[in-house]
């Protein structure tokens, strides 16, 4: 099932037969080093556990993970997620945006393209008040993606959730529904 498409990408269900590809994409330290909750090395058991967590959401019609695939060949290249925020300072209606991209696909604007669409999917849900994200202080590429899709940098904050790696400090980002709606009016590229 495809949830949305861009000129170059399909945002769709992750298929169980793609788990070996998922393991291969996460078997690159540069990809996972700034992903605080993804184990490394990433094993087939990790992929199966991840799939077991997201598959019921697909069946319920409430996806939390959108597989990124190239439209040209349907090849899995990354993912974008919307899930309950980690940490203790979230408000009711906050949804956390997370994402990753296989290293061979960096620097092509693909993550910005996908994240912009998923932002729209998140705000299409009536209960969403704001979409939030965190980045490592030194993750400039991710910070650029968030800024391009309209999230505001709220500044550094102590990390208040358990992580497998990373700093004790994160940079917090946010866009409220009102900010998103105002940007949609200003910028026709936000869908």
Taken in order of first residue, the domains within the chain and their CATH numbers are 2-186 (3.40.630.30)
Greater pLDDT, 189 or 91: 91
Residue-level pLDDT at 188: 57
Average of per-residue pLDDT across 72-94? 92
Q: What are phi and psi of 167, to 5 degrees?
A: -80, 165
State how far the Cα of 172 lies from the Cα of 154, in Å rounded to an integer.
5
**What is the SS3 assignment for 37?**
coil
- CA angle 46/138/51 to nearest 5° reads 15
Residue-level pLDDT at 187: 72
Q: Quickly state the pLDDT bin for 140 (edges 50, 70, 90).
A: very high
Q: What are phi and psi of 163, to 5 degrees?
A: -135, 155
What is the average pLDDT value for the chain, to the nearest integer? 93
Q: Quickly state the pLDDT bin for 145 (edges 50, 70, 90).
A: very high
Residue 167 clears pLDDT 90, i.e. is over it: no
Specify burial of residue 15 (Cβ count, 10 A radius: 0-12, 13-18, 19+): middle
State how far the Cα of 61 lies from the Cα of 20, in Å rounded to an integer.
25
Average of per-residue pLDDT across 150-175? 91
Tokens of 134: 């965190």
Average of per-residue pLDDT across 133-160? 95
Q: Which of 27, 26, 30, 13 is nearest to 81 (CA)?
A: 13
**Lowest pLDDT segment from 8-12, 31-35, 92-96:** 31-35
Residue-level pLDDT at 165: 83
Residue 166 clears pLDDT 90, i.e. is over it: no
Average of per-residue pLDDT across 59-65? 93
Q: Quickly state the pLDDT bin for 190 (edges 50, 70, 90).
A: low
């Amino acid at each position: 099932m495809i949830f949305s498409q861009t000129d170059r990408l399909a945002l769709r269900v992750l298929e169980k037969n793609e788990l070996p590809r998922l393991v291969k994409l996460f078997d690159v330290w540069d990809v996972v080093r700034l992903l605080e909750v993804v184990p490394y090395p990433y094993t087939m058991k990790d992929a199966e556990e991840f799939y077991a967590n997201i598959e019921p959401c697909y069946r319920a019609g409430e996806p939390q993970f959108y597989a990124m695939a190239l439209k040209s060949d349907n090849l899995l290249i990354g993912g974008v997620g919307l899930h309950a925020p980690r940490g203790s300072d979230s408000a009711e209606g906050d949804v956390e945006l997370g994402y990753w991209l296989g290293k061979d696909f960096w620097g092509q604007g693909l993550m910005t393209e996908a994240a912009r669409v998923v932002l729209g999917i998140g705000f299409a849900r009536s209960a969403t008040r704001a979409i939030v994200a965190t980045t490592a202080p030194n993750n400039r590429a991710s910070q650029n993606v968030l800024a391009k899709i309209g999230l505001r940098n709220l500044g550094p904050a102590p990390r208040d959730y358990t992580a497998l790696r990373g700093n004790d400090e994160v940079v917090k980002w946010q866009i409220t529904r009102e900010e998103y709606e105002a940007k949609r009016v200003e910028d026709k590229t936000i869908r």
